[in-house]
Amino acid sequence: MRKVFSRTWMLREEGIGEIEQQIMDGKIDGNTGFVAGIGVCKETISDKISGVCLRSTKFLVNLCDNLRP
């Protein structure tokens, strides 16, 4: 989670990927993971760096596609 709030854009992007991987691997419960993922997207989707914004958007799409009730 520290990486998501880092000043370095590469660490923010890497943090999104790590959280996504943990959720998709089932290390985080589906409901809790969905709420946490939405929170991460909320913080990062409006980032000034386009790579972070794009990564966050892809994460949101993947989250919605894979964690349907």
What is the pLDDT tens value at each position of the chain, 69 positions in all? 899 999 999 999 999 999 999 988 888 887 888 888 999 999 999 999 999 999 999 999 999 888 765
Query: How many structural domains is the chain composed of?
Result: 1
CA pair distance 61, 51, nearest whole angstrom: 15
To 10 degrees, what angle do helices 50-66 and 30-44 make? 160
pTM for the whole structure: 0.85
The domain in which residue 10 lies consists of: 3-66
